[in-house]
A and B are shown apart, each in its own frame.
Chain A
Amino acid sequence: MSRNNWHLYEVFIRSKNGLAHKHAGSVHAQDAETAILSARDLYTRRGEASSLWIIKSSDIIASDPGEAGELYDPSDDKIYRHSTFYTVPDGVKNM
């Protein structure tokens, strides 16, 4: 069987205006035009979308999961970054 080597595109759906696009899955296609048509057929048959984004998977730049520990350290030693660190005197309102 021949290998088609189609591009892989990632599909992002905005379910309605006012919300952000969210990753839904991927499609294979030869070009962007057919990719967006296929994405429409595959992911939005029941009113799931008001807008679609697609991007070639190979164009996504991702962080290394192996470095997730250091990169996304919760910085628990920097508790002053959270509003709960501060005391507000009794009687002070709207803060």
Chain B
Amino acid sequence: MTATAQAPSQIGEVPTFEVRLKVRRYLPPEPAQPLPYGAPAPQAEAYWEEFTVRVHGTDRVLDALHKVKWEQDGSLTFRRSCAHGVCGSDAMRINGRNRLACKTLLKDLDPTKPITIEPIKGLSVLKDLVVDMEPFFASYREIMPFLVTSGNEPTRERLQSPEQRARYDDTTKCILCACCTSSCPVFWNDGQYFGPAAIVNAHRFIFDSRDSGAAQRLEILNDKEGVWRCRTTFNCTEACPRGIEVTKAIAEVKRAMITRAY
């Protein structure tokens, strides 16, 4: 079919409107000298602060935060990079839900109420919306997130059928933003739990036909802080900005552990 395409939606007409942001702030007390690398930050009180900004209809929560930082209060601190949902820097709790600020359009939120923005939960807050990601990445590193192979390396590529490739496609999409792990009530209450993101990345290799490290990974995840802590609340699946069926992936890892079929 080569029919002429229809006119698109009227994206040229971009209305502006005001939004109120209610941001959870935390400014660590300042030492007289810079802290040495790795030293724990001294404690201070967190508080709420409200800002009002005028935004466009295509703007996202990240744009509103930038507007505050660039025009009102330069000390407001958050991580961000790509600004279109692929780098995973700007996970935060927006109106009580874990989301990426750069993928959340302001027009999709209720304009009559202030938008609440908090750091993701379960990881210690370092400043405003910035949390300590080290424990999150430490869990990820523990599950051997790399291809483990045995035997001689082939000269060309390893063969893998489209069906075998499709088997683990969903979990290759993970961007390590921590939306899932920091939405998990088990993780909130028990910082030792590996958390959904680490299990998702284990899944990505366990079900890869080229990989032979599944037994080792399942051993790691069979630990008391492993997959069995999952209570199947589906928070992680709802939180994933990449649409990964996280809870399903965890269930598949559990099943593989019992049946040893992968």
* A, B assembled together: no
Interface residues of A (CB under 8 A from B): none
